[in-house]
Every structure is written in structure tokens, then in C-alpha cells.
């Protein structure tokens, strides 16, 4: 099994795990035609991808090969809608270097940029499906330093700590941890920005979670967003392109015009209707969204990304495996439900 998934599986068994995928609480965190389908376009239809690295040995790519060997050609072709797109890498919480080296090395050979997610903050995810993280502030600082050193001089885009700020805002993270969290996030931005070709985007949740963007302004500022390249939105969630971009523009206006990136990996059908408490975790009927690109047609939107890896479970809900584990049936549903541009 791929090292990344191996690590997540072990963490899940120990502590309801950490998400390199579905963030919990309000976050985010049938067979149809198998012809080629793209996700919904942004304001300007994105050109063919080229900026970001495509992992040739991702779980989706391996699943395609397995299904081809089994004669499931239709399913394999559908799943290529995932396997042939660039997706973020969520380096392991014990030692991030091997995953980062693999991603940056592959990206260098392809002349592309690796997309990485730093997700190891202490008291992560309020003890829910993606619980875990570094055991102390000291351990986290060492982990971030190892993360940055592994990147070296390679070009990389880093999404920093999905959910960490929104969980402060919604009260899920106890107040006694807030000051340390702000300090650790600020230090992480500064350390990552020492690498010459790194862009850092501090996570700001999604508009279905913290509906009033203004509530994020002061927390983002305390966490050092001024030193970052911007903020990230919709990680592991399903809010539509239009809703997310409008929210991003509003939030940008309160934090000095900072740019943002957004996750469109599973928002092709928008969020599941109904109680949002149940809508974030492996919701049925969702579909792939806009393919990743750094040419968005929006001066504030630096990139459309697949930060959540489509097909990785959000957690043990609706019959899914532990958070971060590959779920081929769910992946196939996302691929078949991709909304045509």
C-alpha cells in the first residue's frame, strides 16, 4: 500500500485518525455515460492543466490499472477523470520528508509544481474523525521545519492546516489552545516562506461553515496571514465555485486584499441539501468539480485545486472507511457524477 495511505490507516486505528482528507464537523472541512466529462468551468474556462504535478502512482491511478486488468474498462475510463488530474499530497505526520521528496521529485521531472498540505497542528480536528496532530508545540515546530527542509528549492504550493482557524472561530477548539495555535501557525508561515519557491495559503474553511466571513478576519490576522501568500477555501467541502469565489472576495477585502485558492475536487454537484452537520462526511451523489488550473480568469483567485483527494474517505460514515483511506466505489461515483462544463 502507498506509504501515505499506510500512515493514515495506522493513525486512524490509534485515534479516529487524521484526515488527509475530510475535515469533520461543518468542514470541509448509478451508472451513467462514461464519455469524457469535465467539471464546471470558472469565470473563464480554464485551459489544459500544466502547472501542477500529476501523481502517476496515486490510489486512483493504481485502481485504474487494476480495473483494466479485471476487464472493467468502462469503470477504469471513468476513474481516469480523477487519476489524470493533479491532486494535493498530504505528507505523513511522523516524517513528512519521504512524501514530499516523492512529490517534488516527480514534479521536477515533469516541470510542474507540487501541491502539499501541512496538516499536523496539535489538537487537530477537535478529537473527531481526523483527530491527531503533533503531540506538542515543540514537536510541531520540528515537523514544520522538516517539512520545509524537504521542499528545499523546489517549487511548491502549501495549504496550511485545514480547519485550524475555523475551529477556533466556531468554538470547537478549546480557548486554552488558541494563543499557541495562532503562534504556531504564524511561525509555520514564516518557516515555509524561507524556502525560495514556496507559496503558502492559510486555510479559512468554507462559506457553508463560517457564514460570516468577517468572523475569520481577526483570527487570520493573528495567525499571520499577512506573511502568507493568501488563504485557502472549501478544502474537503462541496460549496459551489460561485459561492466560494464570492466568499473569497469578501474575505480578501478584510485581510489586505490577500489572494486565495479553492478546492473544487468534489463540488461539481454542490453541497448535499439538508442538515449541514451531516452533509460534510461522504455525502452521496456528489461529483467532481472544476479541473485544477492556475489560470482562473480571476485576479484574486490564484488557483483552482483538488486539495481533497477525490475518493479518499472523510471518515467512517455512510459506510466509508477511516478518514484518508481510499474508497474506490465513492471515487467512481464522483467520476460518474462529474458535471459537464
User: Annotated active-site positions, please?
Assistant: 125, 163, 314
Which residues is 261 bridged to in the sheet? 232, 303
Give the span between the Cα atoms of 309 and 297, in whole angstroms. Answer: 24
Q: Which among 327, 241, 247 is positioned nearest to 281, based on CA atoms? A: 327
DSSP helix/strand/coil, 132:
strand
DSSP helix/strand/coil, 89:
strand
Q: Read off the C-alpha cell for 124.
A: 487537530
Place of cell 515543540: 138
Length of the chain: 341
For residue 40, how many C-alpha atoms fall within 13 Å in the half-sphere facing its CB? 19
DSSP 245-309: HHHHHHHHTTTTT-EEEEE-TTBTT-SPSS-HHHHSSS-TT-B--SPPBS--S-TTEEEEE--S-
Q: State the burial class of residue 81 (Cβ atoms within 10 Å of its Cβ: 0-12, 13-18, 19+).
A: buried
Q: Read off the C-alpha cell for 204.
A: 479559512
Q: Which among 209, 280, 281, 220 is positioned nearest to 247, based on CA atoms? A: 209
Amino acid at each position: 500500500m502507498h506509504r501515505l495511505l499506510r500512515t493514515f490507516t495506522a493513525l486512524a486505528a490509534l485515534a479516529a485518525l487524521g484526515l488527509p482528507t475530510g475535515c469533520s464537523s461543518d468542514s470541509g472541512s448509478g451508472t451513467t455515460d462514461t464519455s469524457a466529462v469535465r467539471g464546471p468551468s470558472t469565470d473563464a474556462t480554464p485551459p489544459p492543466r500544466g502547472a501542477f504535478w500529476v501523481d502517476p502512482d496515486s490510489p486512483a491511478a493504481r485502481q485504474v490499472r487494476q480495473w483494466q486488468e479485471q476487464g472493467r474498462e468502462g469503470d477504469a475510463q471513468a476513474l481516469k477523470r480523477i487519476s489524470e488530474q493533479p491532486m494535493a499530497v498530504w505528507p505523513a505526520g511522523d516524517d513528512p520528508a519521504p512524501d514530499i521528496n516523492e512529490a517534488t521529485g516527480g514534479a521536477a521531472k515533469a516541470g510542474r509544481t507540487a501541491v502539499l498540505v501541512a496538516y499536523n497542528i496539535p489538537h487537530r480536528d477537535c478529537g473527531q474523525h481526523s483527530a491527531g496532530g503533533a503531540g506538542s508545540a515543540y514537536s510541531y515546530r520540528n515537523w514544520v521545519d522538516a517539512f520545509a527542509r524537504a521542499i528545499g528549492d523546489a517549487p511548491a504550493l502549501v495549504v496550511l492546516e485545514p480547519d485550524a482557524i475555523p475551529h477556533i472561530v466556531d468554538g470547537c477548539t478549546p480557548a486554552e489552545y488558541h494563543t499557541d495555535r495562532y503562534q504556531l501557525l504564524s511561525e509555520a508561515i514564516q518557516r515555509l516562506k524561507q524556502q525560495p519557491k514556496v507559496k503558502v495559503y492559510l486555510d479559512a474553511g468554507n462559506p457553508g461553515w463560517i457564514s460570516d466571513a468577517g468572523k475569520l478576519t481577526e483570527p487570520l490576522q493573528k495567525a499571520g496571514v499577512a506573511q502568507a501568500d493568501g488563504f485557502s477555501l472549501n478544502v474537503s467541502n462541496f460549496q459551489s465555485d460561485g459561492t466560494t469565489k464570492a466568499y473569497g472576495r469578501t474575505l480578501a477585502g478584510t485581510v489586505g486584499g490577500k489572494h486565495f485558492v479553492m478546492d473544487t475536487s468534489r463540488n461539481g454537484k454542490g453541497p448535499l441539501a439538508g442538515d449541514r452537520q451531516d452533509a460534510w462526511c461522504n455525502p452521496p451523489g456528489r461529483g467532481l468539480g472544476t479541473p485544477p488550473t492556475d489560470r482562473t480568469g480571476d485576479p484574486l483567485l490564484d488557483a483552482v485545486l483538488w486539495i481533497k483527494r477525490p475518493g479518499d474517505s472523510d471518515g467512517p460514515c455512510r459506510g466509508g472507511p477511516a478518514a484518508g483511506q481510499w474508497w474506490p466505489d465513492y471515487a467512481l461515483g464522483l467520476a460518474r457524477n462529474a458535471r459537464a462544463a
